[in-house]
Amino acid sequence: MLSAYAVFSISLAADQLSASLRVPKALVLVAIPVDFIGGAIGGVAIGYLADRAGRRAALYVAEAVFSVAVALASQLRGLAQLYAAWFFVGFGVNAQNGVSYPVVVELLRSSRGLVGGIMQGLYFIGFFLDALTFQLVPHWRTYFLVVGLVSLILTVALNSLVAETAARSYRGLGLRAFDRRLALLTAGLSAISVGAFMFTIPLLSVVPSFITSMGLSRSWVEPLSIVGFIGFIVAGWASDVAGRLKTALAFIAVSLASAAALVALARGYAGLAALSLMFFASGYFSFLGVWASETYPAELRATGTNVVFLVARVVGGFSTAIAAFIYPPSLRVGTALTGIIAGAIALAGAAAFYLAARPAPAARPLADALDEEPGLADDPPYVDPVSSLPVDVAAPRADVELVILG
């Protein structure tokens, strides 16, 4: 929640920054892709630190970086300083997220999807708090200072309550478990993550800029944030019950339908309904961090999770620019078209993950095969890839029960 509070604070202050720095608003919003580039680098760097020095130490570093960066942004005097500040905001925010998921996986034996959904859904609550804070503190310098200080105080205080889950026995064991199959699973999850980022980031970044052109009050941004939060919780819970892959496919289908509807529904409450569905459908983002963390053995869990998000963070950062330029006459249509492209990428990733998750048939001894009559041999055993993966693929610590798809 506090990481979202920090990273999306720029969305509310963009108009004032544009006027104060005397630059077009489009140049101010370039800070968003810069933020995600920082996040891609920070996620892998701090994830590596978390696998070697421990989860809590990595969380302290990440939280200090993004909180201080937002607070310092209150003193910026030029566009270059804004980009530098938001690079470090992204560096810390995305690293914190990427380390938090392994903590959830290592602490919990069940309901991981629900907990991950609540955690990720707090992004919408953070965005909601941004809107409230900006109403109370409507000048951008004071606003950034308040957001930065509140984030620093609360994150450090709350992090002291987090248990260290990285056992010393597996810290620093390296990439020995990263084989071809795990690489294919990583590719599939990465594509799903790219789709999730491309779909969700424009909703949080540019909807406030075009919602009034639909004949709707900007005050609808807060209720839409709550709808998104509910979607994240529902998706996380459903992924625990029905499986990660099935839930992702269901929400991706709704995201495609709602994005297509937004292209056609230009104004009024019909357009608001399409937007609401898009916010709700973004819920498949909610359990991706947990899903990725479940895929990797403990010694490279934080690093692997952040590798999954590496490309997604960069592409997601540029999704606002894609939404703006894919259809210049209308930011609403551009956002919808970006959502459709995102859904197609996520579907391709889900298919790749499904294929990689199917275990190879068990090999039979040659002597047994020669002794059997044709057609009488038992079929080799398979594991249903939609409900579970073989233990050897997701084989972390013995005291943690891991189910990748179920």
How does residue 82 score in pLDDT terms, banded at 50, 70 and 90? very high
- 290: tokens are 């947990």
- 314: tokens are 């960069």
Q: What is the structure's pLDDT at 370?
A: 36
Q: How far apart are CA 257 and CA 361, in angstroms?
A: 37
Q: What is the structure's pLDDT at 361?
A: 57
Q: What is the structure's pLDDT at 399?
A: 39
Q: Is residue 139 part of a domain?
A: yes
Q: Is residue 388 part of a domain?
A: no
Question: 155-186: b or e for each residue (b if 16 or more CB lie within 10 Å)?
Answer: beeebeeeeebbeeeeeeeeeebbeebbeebb
Q: Is residue 367 part of a domain?
A: no
> According to the 3-state scheme, what is the secondary structure of the chain?
CHHHHHHCHHHHHHHHHHHHHCCCHHHHHCHHHHHHHHHHHHHHHHHHHHHHHCHHHHHHHHHHHHHHHHHHHCCCCCHHHHHHHHHHHHHHHHHHHHHHHHHHHHHCCCCHHHHHHHHHHHHHHHHHHHHHHHHHCCCHHHHHHHHHHHHHHHHHHHHCCCCCCCCHHHCCCCCCCCCHHHHHHHHHHHHHHHHHHHHHHHHHHCHHHHHHHHCCCHHHHHHHHHHHHHHHHHHHHHHHHHCHHHHHHHHHHHHHHHHHHHHHCCCHHHHHHHHHHHHHHHHHHCCHHHHHHHHCCHHHHHHHHHHHHHHHHHHHHHHHHHHHHCCCCCHHHHHHHHHHHHHHHHHHHHHHHHHHHCCCCCCCCHHHHHHCCCCCCCCCCCCCCCCCCCCCCCCCCCCCCCCCCC
Q: Comparing C-alpha atoms, which of 25, 334, 193, 336 is closest to residue 10?
A: 25
- 134: tokens are 């900006």
Q: Comparing C-alpha atoms, which of 134, 155, 135, 156 is closest to residue 145?
A: 134
Percent of the chain with pLDDT over 70: 84
pLDDT tens sequence across 26-71? 889 888 889 889 988 998 899 888 888 888 889 999 999 999 999 9
Task: Please give the span between the terminal C-alpha atoms of the chain, in angstroms, as a whole number.
Answer: 27
For residue 205, give the amino acid letter: S
CB 127 within 8 A of CB 225: yes
How does residue 167 score in pLDDT terms, banded at 50, 70 and 90? low
Domain extent for 197: 2-161+178-357
pLDDT over threshold 70, residue 87: yes
pLDDT over threshold 50, residue 374: no
Higher-pLDDT residue of 166, 162 = 162
Mean pLDDT, rounded, of the chain? 82
Q: How far apart are CA 232 and CA 195, in angstroms?
A: 15
Higher-pLDDT residue of 150, 26 = 150
How does residue 168 score in pLDDT terms, banded at 50, 70 and 90? low
- Could you tell me the CATH number of the domain that includes residue 216? 1.20.1250.20
Q: Global pTM?
A: 0.76
Percent of the chain with pLDDT over 90: 36
Q: What is the structure's pLDDT at 149?
A: 93
Q: Is residue 99 part of a domain?
A: yes
How does residue 9 score in pLDDT terms, banded at 50, 70 and 90? confident
By mean pLDDT, which of 16-25, 89-98, 178-187, 190-199 is the weakest? Answer: 178-187
pLDDT tens sequence across 316-358? 878 888 998 899 899 899 999 999 999 999 999 999 999 988 7
Q: What is the structure's pLDDT at 85?
A: 94
Q: Is residue 19 part of a domain?
A: yes
Q: CA of 95: how far to CAs of 129, 139, 190, 370, in Å?
A: 21, 29, 16, 55
Q: Is residue 278 part of a domain?
A: yes
Q: What is the structure's pLDDT at 38?
A: 92
Using CA atoms of 95, 98, 102, 105 in order, give the dihedral in degrees to the nearest 10.
140
Q: What is the structure's pLDDT at 118?
A: 86
Q: Is residue 49 part of a domain?
A: yes
Q: What is the structure's pLDDT at 178?
A: 62
How does residue 176 score in pLDDT terms, banded at 50, 70 and 90? low
Q: CA of 261: how far to CAs of 153, 268, 283, 328, 396, in Å?
A: 42, 13, 18, 19, 43
pLDDT over threshold 90, residue 1: no
pLDDT tens sequence across 110-128? 788 898 888 887 877 787 7
Q: Is residue 400 part of a domain?
A: no
Q: In the chain, how many domains are there?
A: 1
Q: How far apart are CA 154 and CA 3, in angstroms?
A: 11
Q: What is the structure's pLDDT at 350?
A: 95
Q: Comparing C-alpha atoms, which of 308, 282, 284 is closest to residue 294?
A: 308
Q: What is the structure's pLDDT at 376?
A: 35
Q: What is the structure's pLDDT at 120?
A: 80
Q: CA of 265: how far to CAs of 30, 182, 259, 262, 337, in Å?
A: 28, 42, 10, 5, 13
